[in-house]
Amino acid sequence: MGKFWSLLFLLVPILGVACFAVAPWYKIWLPSDVSEHGHMIDHLFYFILWLTAVVFVITEVALFWFMWRYDGKGQYRTAKFTHGSHSLEIVWTIIPSAVLLFIAIYQMNAWADSKIRNPAAGPDGIFGTADDMPPMLEITARQFEWRLRYPGLQAKGKLGGDDDIFVVNDLHLPVNEEILLDLKSSDVLHSFFLPNMRVKQDAVPGMKIPVWFRATEVGSWDIVCAELCGWGHYKMKGRVTVESREDFDKWLEEKYREQTATQDTQPVGQGDTE
C-alpha cells in the first residue's frame, strides 16, 4: 500500500501535462488569432507556459521521488532535523527573482505596443497634436450591452456631431487598418474583450480609455465582457465583423440611412402596404 500514494501523486504531473496536450483536439485551446500584434501576446503566453510547465514537472517529479524513496514502510532510521540551509534559501530566492525580472523586461515591448504607444498621439508617441488620428468610434459599455457611436459621414471622422451613427452590439471594422477606439462605461466596470484580436481593456466609469489594434482577417467573431458587471454579465455578447473598406463604408452608409429615416419600412403584410 505504501507505494500506492506516491504513484497516485505521480498522476498529478502526468494528467496535468496530458490536459494541455489533448486540449487542441477538443478545441479548448487559444481562439484563432486575427490581429497584427496577437502573436506577441501568444508568444509571451507560450513562453510563460513552458517556463512554468518545466518547473511544475520538475517539482512534481521531485515530490514523487521523495515520497517513493522515503516511504514509511521499512524505514527505521531516526529523522534528523536541521534549521535549514542559508545558501539554499538564497538560491531559491535569487533564481525566481531573476526569472521574474527577465519576464518584466522581456514583455515591456508587447505592453507598450498595446497600451502605451497610442497611434493617436502622433509621431512623438506621447503628446497629441490637432492632426493626430481621431478615434474610429466610441464604445460605451453599459449593463448589459455595447453601445457604439461612429462619426457621421459628413463629419470627416470627427465624433460628437449631430450626424453621429449609433449602433448597438454589432461592431463593424475595416480590415488591415489601424483601429483606434475610445472606450467608456456608463455605469459600472466592464471589460471590452475581443478574444480573437487579443484585445482586453477594462471600461471604467468616468474615463475615456483609448484602445487600438489592427485586424488582419475578414470574418466575424465575438465581443464579450471580461469583467463581472452584474447579474446580466452573460448577456453582454456582441459581434465584431471585420470587412473590406468598401464593405465597411457601405455598411456605415446603410446605418446612416436607417437612422435618418423619415418613413418607416415595415415588412410587407405587416405595415402599410403602399
Contacting residues toward other proteins, per CB under 8 A: 143-145, 147, 161-162, 166, 168-170, 231-232, 235, 237-239, 258-264, 266-267, 270-272
Instruction: Give me the least distance between CB of 5 and other proteins, in Å please.
Output: 32
By residue count, the chain amounts to 274
Nearer to other proteins, 118 or 241 (CB): 241
Between the CA of residue 195 and those of 173, 209, 215, what are the distances in Å? 15, 19, 12
| Residue 96 Rama label (left phi>0; alpha psi -120 to 50; beta) | alpha
Instruction: Give me the least distance between CB of 164 and other proteins, in Å please.
Output: 8
Nearer to other proteins, 78 or 262 (CB): 262
Instruction: Tell me the C-alpha distance between 215 and 248, whole Å.
Output: 13
Instruction: Give me the least distance between CB of 156 and other proteins, in Å please.
Output: 16
Nearer to other proteins, 85 or 266 (CB): 266
C-alpha cell at 114: 498595446
Q: Is the peptide bond before 56 cis (omega within 30 degrees of 0)?
A: no
C-alpha cell at 127: 503628446
Instruction: Give me the least distance between CB of 49 and other proteins, in Å please.
Output: 32
Other C-beta atoms lying within 10 Å of the C-beta of residue 242: 25
Instruction: Give me the least distance between CB of 38 and other proteins, in Å please.
Output: 24
Nearer to other proteins, 26 or 76 (CB): 26
Phi first, then psi, for residue 98 (nearest 5°) are -65, -40
Instruction: Give me the least distance between CB of 194 and other proteins, in Å please.
Output: 15
CA quadruple 166, 172, 175, 177: dihedral positive or negative?
positive
Nearer to other proteins, 5 or 166 (CB): 166
Instruction: Tell me the C-alpha distance between 172 and 147, whole Å.
Output: 12
Nearer to other proteins, 214 or 255 (CB): 255
DSSP code, position 76? -
